[in-house]
Amino acid sequence: MCGIVGYTGKSGVGKVLLKGLKRLEYRGYDSAGVAVVQNDGIYLQKKKGMIKDLEPITIPSGNTGIGHTRWATHGKPSDENAHPFKGCSGEFAIVHNGIIDNFITIKEELIEKGHEFSSETDSEILVHLIEEYHEGNLLQTMGEVIKKLRGSYAVCAVQRDSDRIVVARNQSPLVIGIGVEENLVASDIPAILDHTNEVKYLEDGDIAELTPSRIRIWDRKGVPVERETVEIDWTHEDAEKSGYEHYMLKEIYEQPKAIHDSLLGRLVEFDDVDFNSYDTRHIRLISCGTSYHAALVGKYIIEELAAIPCTTDLASEYRYSSPSDLTPFTILISQSGETADTIAAAREAKQRGCKTLAITNVMNSSITREVDEVIYTQAGPEIGVAATKTFTTQLIVLYLIAMELGLNNKRLLRENVQEYRDELRRLPRHVKVLLDQSDYIRDVCDKLVTAEDIFFVGRNINYPVALEGALKLKEIAYIHSAGYPAGELKHGPFALLTERTPVVSILVKDHTFEKMLGNIGEIAARGSPIISVGDEDRELEKLSDDMIVIPSVPPLFSPILVNVVLQLMAYHTARKRGCSIDKPRNLAKSVTVE
């Protein structure tokens, strides 16, 4: 989950590394550090805390260096456990992302050979292994070192008095940025966008060498290979806050564009995947966190539009489930495409003989290598740890898939699809209307700021939206909150309702509306403050302490609009509470550990 950046060239390595690391801080922010190659050694600066805690630092001038921002796995956050690591001789330095499963055995062997360790991390073994095997050529040494490793790694190594960066990857992302008289390497694209849009993605088992003027790559058999050069259409402005106080707020406001971009070229004909060639009698949707909530909404959408039964699984559970229930078609949803559990679930699904499709936002991310088909959401880079615009665009793709499936199995006629497409086309405008209500939503949040427990309730397709609203509030505002299907409260949680327990209720005018009104009446009778989000209704307004009305859309499309309101609620509540919105405590954007 850590962020890595490496640079070799003449643009002032210190600044490049610090800027790159700031762009990667969403991957981990408990410690950070840089190593800069000098003629007589390697300058190292590392510290517990965020990148800003590294500053002000005076990094000596140099042309080549590596940097790291950490999310602790082995060893607590501390100055000692921060990357980069130098070995005993000080000739080499490394940064690493991933987990080396057999590090304890290797560490013991190295200690016996006289190596002295300064940290509790698994990563530090890498630099000592390099020292142990080095016979004059860092590239060959890296080849020897990775033969010893079990586990996942993206590793970058530098050597005293050399402008080379040698890197290797296995199951952890690593991308090379191709510059002019400079080259870069990083765990994620945002770190290199200031320098180039041309990249090469490394494959598992690859080793590469970068100098300012040359990039060479070898595959796992040691054969020189050319990896395709890919043009990235993200800009460096996409990765900046652009005047917004937080990335999360910027990303919430980017949703009209993200929806538009994800629909672009897909509304007349959606031909990303030929579903006719797959057995889609039953569909399984697998993912984690917010992406799992998208899967839950997706189940309602697909069952409604295509009448195909869907099963949803959390990736971390699916992997250990009984393989007896064979579902021929499996959809994996992952914003980052790097979530370890979802990737493992994709492998498991393949093992079970299923056809697999990934919905992801990150081009060439690890999951794209594991599946038969990929559909990209076009949300642009999402830097805030809390997923916002990517959830919305995952739903957009699920609507498109459901319509296509509905057409294929004749549940939908062309004219029905046309109507739905028109609804999708109108969504960006509706989202803008809600964004314009941000100040009002901020004021409503006064009721949430001091609460210790908050319930989110909804029914049918908006039940998963209630789950998502509760997750967002927990994650960034640190308030305990729970999402419930409204009909379930009376089966237990009612015992918790008091005048200090606000309930955010989602009510849209579908076939559950009347039942929901009844549920809200029961909650109101217990004295809980009620904030309602949904369609305009006199009766509902009377029952609610506050009411946020969404533009009128068919209930099937309401999750996108309701969720924008819940995102703004979480944001404003977190802001009023002074929380670290873009980097909530203990979290990281891509969860690459299982």
CA distance 8 to 208: 13
Confirm whether 88 is a catalytic residue. Answer: no
Shortest separation between residue 366's beta carbon and ligand F6R, angstroms? 10
Active-site option among 2, 156, 288, 445: 2
- The CA-CA-CA angle for residues 153, 158, 161, to 5°, reads 175
Nearest-angstrom CA–CA distance, 4 and 184: 11
CB of 513 to ligand F6R, least distance (A): 29
Cis before 529 (ω within 30): no
Residue window 349-388: x/- pattern of binding to ligand F6R, with contact defined by CB under 6 A: -------------------------------------xx-
Which 572-591 residues touch ligand F6R, going by CB under 6 A?
A: 590-591
Note whether 288 and 591 are within 8 A (CB).
yes
Among the residue ranges 201-209, 238-246, 334-342, 457-465, the one whose residues contact ligand F6R (CB under 6 A): 334-342
Q: Is 589 a catalytic residue?
A: yes
Report if residue 82 touches ligand F6R, rule: CB under 6 A.
no
- Per-residue tokens: 65: 């260096």
Q: Is 398 in the site for ligand F6R (CB under 6 A)?
A: no
CA-based max dimension of the chain: 80
Fill in the DSSP letter of residue 211: E
Looking at the Cβ atoms of 158 and 482, the one nearer to ligand F6R is 482
Per CB under 6 A, the segment of 25-33, 150-158, 331-339, 545-553 that binds ligand F6R is: 331-339
340 binds ligand F6R (CB under 6 A): no
Position among 81, 159, 291, 519 found at the interface with ligand F6R (CB under 6 A): 291
Q: Contact between 465 and ligand F6R (CB under 6 A)?
A: no
Query: Is residue 334 near ligand F6R by the rule CB under 6 A?
Result: yes
Q: How far is CA 70 from CA 75, 221, 380, 426, 434, in A?
A: 11, 31, 24, 42, 36
User: 216 or 480: whose CB is closer to ligand F6R?
Assistant: 480
CA atoms of 176 and 168, how far apart (whole Å): 11
Instruction: Quote the least distance from Cβ 394 to ligand F6R, whole Å.
Output: 8
- Cβ-based nearer residue to ligand F6R, 202 or 379: 379
Question: Contact between 170 and ligand F6R (CB under 6 A)?
Answer: no
Which string of DSSP letters, residue by residue, matches 568-585? Answer: HHHHHHHHHTT--SSS-T
Buried b (16+ CB within 10 A) or exposed e, 263-297: beebbeebebbebeebebeebbbbbbbbbbbbbbb
Quick check: 54 binds ligand F6R (CB under 6 A)? no
User: Interface with ligand F6R includes 212 (CB under 6 A)?
Assistant: no
Tokens for 130? 């390099």
What is the H or E stretch that residue 389 is in? helix 389-408
Nearer to ligand F6R, 174 or 591 (CB): 591
> In the complex with ligand F6R, which residue's Cβ is closer, 125 or 288?
288
Of 4-43, binders to ligand F6R (CB under 6 A) are: none
Minimum gap (Å) between residue 335 Cβ and ligand F6R: 3
Identify the burial level of 586 via C-beta atoms within 10 angstroms of its C-beta, where 0-12 means exposed, 13-18 middle and 19 or more buried.
Answer: exposed
Cα gap 371→354, rounded to integer Å? 10
Which residue lies nearer to ligand F6R by CB, 550 or 591? 591
Considering only residues 183, 342, 378, 528, which one is a binding residue for ligand F6R as defined by CB under 6 A?
Answer: 342
Residue 530, both tokens: 């009620």
Question: Which residue in 336, 368, 460, 567 binds ligand F6R (CB under 6 A)?
Answer: 336
Question: Whole-number minimum distance, CB 569 to ligand F6R, in Å?
Answer: 14
Q: Which two tokens stand for residue 237?
A: 């402005």
**What is the DSSP pairing of strand 329-334 with strand 355-360?**
parallel
Alpha helices (runs of H) in 138-220, residue ranges in sequence order: 138-147
Q: Which residue is nearest to ligand F6R (CB)?
A: 289
Minimum Å gap between C-beta 334 and ligand F6R is 3
Q: Give catalytic residues, as residue numbers.
A: 2, 589
List residues near ligand F6R by CB under 6 A. 288-291, 334-336, 339, 342, 386-387, 475, 590-591
